[in-house]
Amino acid sequence: MGQGLPELELDPGSFLPVSVQLTEQLKGLIRRGVLATGTRLPSVRELAGFLRINRNTVVRAMADLERQGYIRTHHGKGMFVAAQLPDSDRAADLEALVEQTLRTAVDRGLDAEAIGLALLTARRGEHAAAPARLLFVECNGPALRRYKRNLEEALPAEVDVVRIDELQRRHADPGYLARYALVVTTFFHAEEVEALLAGDRTPVVALLFGSLVGGEPFGMHTLIGTALVLGGVMLAR
């Protein structure tokens, strides 16, 4: 890849948004020292060209990395790996905790998906937490109501729904998206919604709702996988 950046493996067919894949892979390269502090990264345009992905997807990934303290933007010069990285011990502790939790779950006969659901809906605090709030985005009113019912039956979460055209009007309203742990949409609208919310910190998850399996939307495991990948960020909100 250009400018000495190691090869990145992005799967556009994955349920995990490409921006999340890019964020996590670059974060891993930085943590392992493959991308040393002070390394200049390719521009948004260059990365989009190298990876053959939408520029807004790269913008979102870079915004997440900068918000988390892994890179810094110097106007007129470009994007660089931060001189002082987030607490690497804390990141290592988180990864070790996830591995230990999954091993314990398997030893006790628990399903890994149940652990993922717990991560998705957990919030910090000593007392029982209120259910997480999700925002589901689609273009069809009747479909929105059906998906809301399916999601709320499958997850211990409160689901609000909004049409894409309404989201275009409301997403910039102060505090509108801050109340949601995730923005969820169908696979077919993923790129449109991700581009619309580029620069916002709320994760976007794409699900394939082409059929129902046991009354549960096919692709529900995507929420669980995203919870595991973004667990450190989501639990810190």
Name the average pLDDT for the chain: 75
Element spanning 8, H or E? none
Does pLDDT of 220 surpass 60? Answer: no
- What is the per-residue pLDDT for 116? 61
Same domain, 193 and 148: yes
Return the DSSP state at 155.
S
Convert 50-69 to b/e letters by CB count within 10 Å (16 or more is b).
bbebbebbbbbbbbbbeebe
Q: Are 134 and 181 in contact (CB under 8 A)?
A: yes
> What is the pLDDT at residue 226?
47
CATH at 34: 1.10.10.10
Are both 66 and 182 inside the same structural domain? no
Residues 99, 11, single domain; the answer is no
Length of the chain: 237
* pLDDT given at position 213: 36
What total number of domains does the chain contain? 2
Q: What is the pLDDT of residue 188?
A: 79
Residue ranges making up the domain that contains 56: 2-81
Out of 81, 113, 132, pick the residue that ends a domain: 81
Lowest mean per-residue pLDDT among 56-60, 145-149, 150-154, 175-179: 150-154
Is the same domain home to 106 and 219?
Answer: yes
pLDDT recorded at residue 10: 87
Residues 187 and 203 in one domain: yes
H/E stretch holding 207: strand 204-207
Compute the distance between CA of residue 127 and CA of residue 118 in angstroms, rounded to an integer: 15
CA angle 116/117/123 to nearest 5° reads 100
CATH number for the domain harbouring residue 186: 3.40.50.2300
Provide the 3-class DSSP secondary structure of residue 187: helix
Same domain, yes or no: 69 and 119: no
The answer to whether residues 107 and 183 belong to one domain is yes
